Structure 1
Amino acid sequence: MTKFVNGLYKNQALFYKVFLFALTAILIVYLLPKGGKFKYEIPKGKPWQYENLYAPFDFAILKTEEEIQAERQEITRNNTPYFQFDESKLPEIKEQAQSEIELVFTDSILNIHQKQIEEFVNTSLDDLYENGILQESNRLDPDQLVYLRRGNEAFEIPYKRILKLNQVRDVLAQKIENSNLTSLSDGLLEVFFNSVEPNVEFDNELTQRELESKLNNISYTRGNVEQGSRIIAKGEVVEGNKYHILRSLRTEYESQVWSGSSYIWIIVGYSTLVALALLMLLLFIRKYRYDIFENNVKVTFIFFNILFMVMLTTLVVRFNIDYVYVVPLAVLPLTLKAFFDSRLGLFTHVVTVLLLGFIVPNSYEYMFLQIIAGIVTILTVSELYKRANLFISVGEITLVYIISYFAFTIIQEGSIAEIEAEVFLTFLLGGLATLFVQPLIYIYEKIFGLVSDMSLLELSDTNSKLLKEMAEKAPGTFHHSLNVANLAEAAANEINANAMLVRVGALYHDIGKMHNPTYFSENQTSNVNTHDDLDPRESAQIIIEHVIKGIEIGKKNNLPDRVIDFIRTHHGTSTVYFFYKKAKEKDENVPADAFRYPGPIPFSKETAILMMCDGVEAASKSLREPTSGLIDNFVEKIVNKQMEEGQFLNANITFKEIQLIKKILKRKLKNIYHLRVEYPE
């Protein structure tokens, strides 16, 4: 049992990766569509390359979006509007008119014509309000049929039969002219104008409800295809009705909710493909980026980004498939390049796009566009911390999207008439969303404890609190660090290493010397050496302690681990040779381990570069009268000694790269000492 527990403990990192792998695969499969996957690509305008295709089941032929839109417009155009008739108004208006008659006409006129006037007014009002009076014209065709709703019943009448308020005067004038009351026309008109008011209004709510009901009843299909009937033969061109039938079959196939054993087999198929894609990524990381594979936080970060992109794309597809290109997929390679490298960023991007092919329609077109965009992202984005570079790269990525879509549309449609301007807008929105990568990188740094070039740029500022403190407490060490940073940056550029990272590492590698600055020669301002009164072993421990103190100071000031690695490794497991030699003069049997740095030895190109530059720069202060030949021999001696001690065994650096670094160090030191070329006598 103890052996089993110990085995679990020793392999806990591996078990965690297996758990992470399984969890990511399960979540991605859960997000994938719950239907079958149509196994054919539909190449519009091209010959059908597959075998003869027969309908596997009965299915309806879907109308195109254009057909549905045209039908909706036709229904909207021909929709019959509703008008509400208020029946309670007429009795009130008649009562008002009766009062107006008594006010407008004199008693002498009423004594003679009152009965005639009242009868004319009541009859005219009945005629005016037969179909009601409308306040304003709705600019409808006079012959268009409308529904006039009276109570719970609606009657269909021509629109012109509803009297408009501005027509009332003409109608009344005609009625008065046809009566025997023409002499009283002014008074009668005044009675009507003081009484008449609209009693019909447009019923927008009922009209819209009726319109929505009709729109909801639109059939999205036109005809059916019976099981077993041939859809298309091999070699036939995929166009016209054939194309629409194939798309209808694909939609029906993918929308079917599978049950029982079929559903289980589909889940098994999805799980196998997703697991295979993620496994390829893990194997790639293990073979070519083993340091990342060993770091569970970094592996978690990579898998999290894949899952995040799959989840985001799934949500957008379910919301509206037209916005699928708004998802800024280029953020994935940008982020991984910022924290790791281009090769890993591109490989992860390709794996993610392959997984998204299960989710999006027109998967070949989508994958082509996204992979090309990912390649452009990797090739164009350099020095992400420079804002101008990011804007330029986003512009280039958006342009590639547009050009690729343009080309695909021409291939599929045979003309540019079918190009949809709205798609270009989604590409622009996706490009703008890609600019979110900078705040996203900052968030990732805080969550996962990673460091990007943007953080390194901030750390390289010599006005930062920690570097200013070192400049005050240990000015000689600060000057030494600046010189080492310049040498290391030049060397890193020569062999295509991370120059920004090695420069920052060089600036902070000796911060531990702030603890006892006067015990280091570069900070001593007098001829008195504080080590003269100490035992060599004690002096060596003080010197060695600056590495431990540097790590403590770095952690206290929240320096990233990648920067603290330079503090740990810049002396590797070398010995404090000066004091070791001094101790041997007193005792030949003194152990070398007492004078040895704790390590570890450098484990990357950047940490190896710092060790070389630090050793050469520190030792160069001992050169009295440097010449070109002396400097060449001096650099060779320092670096070769480090190699003989095995300090670079764990660093992925080649002999060729070491020779290039030596060359740079020689040239830089000659520039520092202003040496001229030595001509032979």
Structure 2
Amino acid sequence: MKHFINKWYRNHALVYKVLLFLCTTFLIVYLFPKSGKFKYSFDKGKPWQSENLYAPFNFAIKKSLDEIEDEKNDIIKNSPVYFDLETNIKDGVYSAYDLKFKETFTDSILEITSVDLYAKGKSVLKLIYKYGLLDDAYNYAATKDVILLENQVEKRRTTFNNLTKNDSFIRILEQNFNAKGNQRFSSEFVSLFFDIVKPNLKLNEVITDNALKEDLDNISPTRGSIEKETLIISKGEIVEADKFEILKSLESEYASQVWNASNYNLVIFAYALLVALALLMLLLFLRKYRIDVFLDNTKVTFIFFNILLMVFLTTLIINYDSKYLYVIPLCILPLVLKAFFDARLGLFAHVLTVLLLGFIVPNSFEYMFLQIIAGIVTILTVSELYKRANLFVSVGQITLIYIIAYFAFYVIHEGNITNLKFETFGLFILCGLATLFVQPLIYIYEKLFGLVSDVSLLELSDTNTKLLKELSNKAPGTFHHSLNVANLAEASANEIGANSMLVRVGALYHDIGKMKNPTFFTENQSTGINPHDELSSRESVTTIIDHVLNGIEIAKKNNLPDRVIDFIRTHHGTSLVYYFYSKEKEINENTNQDDFRYIGPKPFSKETAILMMCDSVEAASKSLKEPSSTKIDKFVEAIINKQMEDGQFLNANITFKEIQSIKKILKNKLANIFHLRIEYPE
């Protein structure tokens, strides 16, 4: 049991990666839709590239969304409106008219005229109540079908223009009296009718809405069906409107089939295989090309977490409404990974994520093409993320690429731009705005995962930070040396394409350990007193070597990132403190060289190797007497060649060509520092 525990402990990092791999695979498959997928790809107006396709089973041809929408609009337009007709109101109005007429026209007119006026008023009432008088102003088309109900039973059908509007009975009254030459009685009749006329038609909203809902519910989502073994399309045949709808129906049928237990488990297993294969490729890539990332479980977890996050957001949007798919800022993934690692890893992870999403998104080829192109543009355009202007310009370029690519795909599919959906361009703009969230997201990730980005490095490069202020006060010579080394290292990194911001920050902090005993280092000995004169060589070398350990301790106490601490650990590698070793050897011939070497480790990246070269050259350059171009050239060559012979760069992924470029930069910089000039003839 003890042996098993020890073995597990020794391999706990690998066990963790396996568990992380399995958990990520499970979660991604869990988010995926559990259905079959149509194995053919096709585009409207393009030839069918696959073999002749026969119907694998009976299925219905689904109507397009436009067809269903047109049917809905027709039903809404032609659906009748139901009004309740209250007949007792009409009878009451007639009775009230008889009484009111006698009261209004008593002895003021002749008996013959009275009879004639009474009949005219009665005829106007019949016109008003021929179909009925509305109780409100309704906004329906004149030709809208109307059904009049009496006690919930249909009594009569007509059109809306036949009904008397509640504000038009006076107009009817005036027209009839003016036409007959009885204008002098018009005002009395208007007053009379105002008192007696009451609406007898009221909209029955419940029946109207229910009837409309029933008609809408009866819309068939299909039009016809295809029998099994029927030839759907032949190879090379153009996918035109009808064929396209049939193929879309078949594709939809595949996605919506109810799977039995064995099919369901098989689909799950197949998805798991593909997802596991993609994630395995990522792990193999890390192991082969980014071993430092692969060995760090926190960094591997961070990469897997971001991939899972993008899959989760995409499935969330698809389940809500797939038309908002392009709002998801997928380019945040390569941006974040490039900020913390490098461009190659960012692009590789982005492409794998897009391939995974291709299983679940509609128009998968179009989606993958757009996202991969956008990812490439992101990697190529976004540099120096800590500069805000760079991010805004890059996001603008990414958004433009989205719009151009989508426009091209739309023209290819439709053959015209008449129905181009401009709201999709708005989604791309929203996506670009969401991509700007990468800045606060990077800050959050730094706190959660303990990583460091160029944004943090920019903050650390400020010489007004508390730690660098302390260094300048306690060890001003070391601070000045660090600034010179930072300038040399930054120029060298730019020359070979290394991370110049990282190496500059590393150079600024690499000697902070000298703050503990500043006077033991020559650059801080302003009084001419050397404390080493009172110490033995072994005591002196211990003090010198300890500045590395002291620097690591101070850095951790001040929460400097591990990437910066690496420069403190490696800037001397395992090099020999030659002065004190030679001094001790004069006393004791059998002196062990290892006792006078730094504890290491050796530089393990281009940036740490650059710092070692620049630090040694800058420090030793102070001993140059009467410097000339020839002396500087020999001096730089001697120092760096000695480091190479000592094997200090064996663990760093730096080439001979890059070392030669660094030598050239150092020679030019030192020549400028010493103000060397060409000697002109007098």
The residue identity in structure 2 corresponding to 1:471 is S
Name the CA shift for 1:644/1:94 in 2 (closer, same or farther; >3 Å).
farther
Shift of 1:179: 12
The residue identity in structure 2 corresponding to 1:145 is D
Q: Which residue of 2 aligns with 1:468?
A: 469
Q: Which residue of 2 aligns with 1:614?
A: 615
1:130-529 aligned at under 5 Å gives the runs 131-134=131-134, 137-148=137-148, 152-153=152-153, 156-173=157-174, 186-194=187-195, 196=197, 198=199, 200=201, 207-208=208-209, 210-529=211-530
Q: Equivalents in 1 of 2:395, 2:351: separation in Å? A: 19
What SS is found at the alignment partner of 1:303? Answer: helix
The residue identity in structure 1 corresponding to 2:337 is L
Name the CA shift for 1:533/1:326 in 2 (closer, same or farther; >3 Å).
same
The residue identity in structure 1 corresponding to 2:242 is N
Shift of 1:38: 0.9
Q: Deviations over 1:345-370 (max 9, x none)?
A: 11111111111111012222221222
Q: Deviations over 1:370-410 (max 9, x none)?
A: 21221122112222222222222222222222222233233
Name the CA shift for 1:27/1:119 in 2 (closer, same or farther; >3 Å).
same
Contact 1:346 1:375 in 2 (8 A): yes
The residue identity in structure 2 corresponding to 1:546 is H
Q: Which residue of 1 aligns with 2:554?
A: 553
Contact 2:48 2:238 in 1 (8 A): yes
Shift of 1:497: 0.8
Shift of 1:231: 0.8
Shift of 1:95: 11
Shift of 1:190: 2.0
Q: Deviations over 1:632-675 (max 9, x none)?
A: 22212222222232221211112222222112111111110011
Q: Which residue of 2 aligns with 1:12?
A: 12
Q: Deviations over 1:210-252 (max 9, x none)?
A: 4444333322211100111111122222222112111111111
Normalised by the size of structure 1, how large is the TM-score? 0.91
Q: Equivalents in 2 of 1:560, 1:101: separation in Å? A: 101
Contact 1:132 1:163 in 2 (8 A): yes
Name the CA shift for 1:99/1:654 in 2 (closer, same or farther; >3 Å).
farther
Name the CA shift for 1:191/1:627 in 2 (closer, same or farther; >3 Å).
same
What SS is found at the alignment partner of 1:603? Answer: coil
What SS is found at the alignment partner of 2:223? Answer: strand
The residue identity in structure 2 corresponding to 1:23 is C
Does 116-125 or 344-353 show the bigger shift?
Answer: 116-125
What SS is found at the alignment partner of 2:146? Answer: strand
Shift of 1:55: 0.6
Q: Deviations over 1:244-297 (max 9, x none)?
A: 111111111122131122222222221111111111111111111111111111
Q: Equivalents in 2 of 1:245, 1:144: separation in Å? A: 36
Name the CA shift for 1:565/1:60 in 2 (closer, same or farther; >3 Å).
same
Name the CA shift for 1:236/1:174 in 2 (closer, same or farther; >3 Å).
closer
What SS is found at the alignment partner of 2:636? Answer: helix
Q: Equivalents in 1 of 2:7, 2:589: separation in Å? A: 45
Name the CA shift for 1:562/1:99 in 2 (closer, same or farther; >3 Å).
farther
Name the CA shift for 1:493/1:141 in 2 (closer, same or farther; >3 Å).
closer
What SS is found at the alignment partner of 2:168? Answer: helix
Q: Equivalents in 2 of 1:98, 1:610: separation in Å? A: 113
1:34 equivalenced with 2:42 (yes/no): no
Does 92-101 or 154-163 show the bigger shift?
Answer: 92-101
The residue identity in structure 1 corresponding to 2:25 is A
Shift of 1:157: 3.2
What SS is found at the alignment partner of 2:74? Answer: helix
Q: Equivalents in 2 of 1:231, 1:437: separation in Å? A: 48
Shift of 1:35: 0.9
Q: Equivalents in 1 of 2:612, 2:446: separation in Å? A: 27
Q: Which residue of 2 aligns with 1:45?
A: 45
Q: Equivalents in 1 of 2:200, 2:473: separation in Å? A: 91
Name the CA shift for 1:121/1:2 in 2 (closer, same or farther; >3 Å).
same
The residue identity in structure 2 corresponding to 1:226 is E
Q: Equivalents in 2 of 1:143, 1:427: separation in Å? A: 44
Q: Which residue of 2 aligns with 1:638?
A: 639
Q: Equivalents in 1 of 2:387, 2:477: separation in Å? A: 32
Contact 1:409 1:418 in 2 (8 A): no
Q: Which residue of 2 aligns with 1:2?
A: 2
Q: Deviations over 1:316-369 (max 9, x none)?
A: 112112122222222111111111111111111111111111101222222122
The residue identity in structure 2 corresponding to 1:52 is N
The residue identity in structure 1 corresponding to 2:7 is G
Does 549-558 or 22-31 show the bigger shift?
Answer: 549-558
Contact 1:628 1:678 in 2 (8 A): no
Does 606-615 or 233-242 show the bigger shift?
Answer: 233-242
Q: Which runs of 5+ in 2 are unaligned?
A: none
Shift of 1:25: 1.1
Q: Equivalents in 2 of 1:206, 1:455: separation in Å? A: 67
Q: Deviations over 1:508-551 (max 9, x none)?
A: 11122222323322222211223333333333222222222222
C-alpha RMSD of matched pairs (Å)? 3.3
The residue identity in structure 2 corresponding to 1:220 is P
Does 184-193 or 467-476 show the bigger shift?
Answer: 184-193
Normalised by the size of structure 2, how large is the TM-score? 0.90
Q: Which residue of 1 aligns with 2:540?
A: 539
Shift of 1:85: 5.8
Q: Which runs of 5+ in 1 are unaligned?
A: none
Q: Equivalents in 2 of 1:678, 1:179: separation in Å? A: 124
What SS is found at the alignment partner of 1:164? Answer: coil
1:671 equivalenced with 2:672 (yes/no): yes
Does 5-14 or 88-97 show the bigger shift?
Answer: 88-97
Q: Equivalents in 1 of 2:521, 2:88: separation in Å? A: 105
Q: Equivalents in 1 of 2:274, 2:230: separation in Å? A: 32
1:55-66 aligned at under 5 Å gives the runs 55-66=55-66
Does 664-673 or 549-558 show the bigger shift?
Answer: 549-558
Q: Deviations over 1:101-157 (max 9, x none)?
A: 99x8599889x99x9999999998787567543365445343432244555446543
Does 15-24 or 384-393 show the bigger shift?
Answer: 384-393
Does 318-327 or 205-214 show the bigger shift?
Answer: 205-214
Name the CA shift for 1:84/1:482 in 2 (closer, same or farther; >3 Å).
farther
What SS is found at the alignment partner of 1:165? Answer: coil
Shift of 1:466: 2.0
Q: How many aligned residue pairs are there?
A: 677
Shift of 1:80: 2.5
What SS is found at the alignment partner of 1:26? Answer: helix
Contact 2:637 2:663 in 1 (8 A): yes
Q: Equivalents in 2 of 1:207, 1:624: separation in Å? A: 104
Q: Equivalents in 2 of 1:208, 1:502: separation in Å? A: 73
Contact 1:81 1:147 in 2 (8 A): yes
Shift of 1:195: 5.3
Q: Deviations over 1:394-437 (max 9, x none)?
A: 22222222222233233333333353323322222222222222
Q: Equivalents in 2 of 1:206, 1:645: separation in Å? A: 95
Contact 2:334 2:346 in 1 (8 A): yes
Q: Deviations over 1:492-516 (max 9, x none)?
A: 1111111111011111111222223
Q: Equivalents in 1 of 2:549, 2:154: separation in Å? A: 92
Q: Equivalents in 2 of 1:580, 1:68: separation in Å? A: 90
Q: Which residue of 2 aligns with 1:72?
A: 72
Shift of 1:174: 6.8
The residue identity in structure 2 corresponding to 1:77 is K
Q: Equivalents in 2 of 1:666, 1:604: separation in Å? A: 22
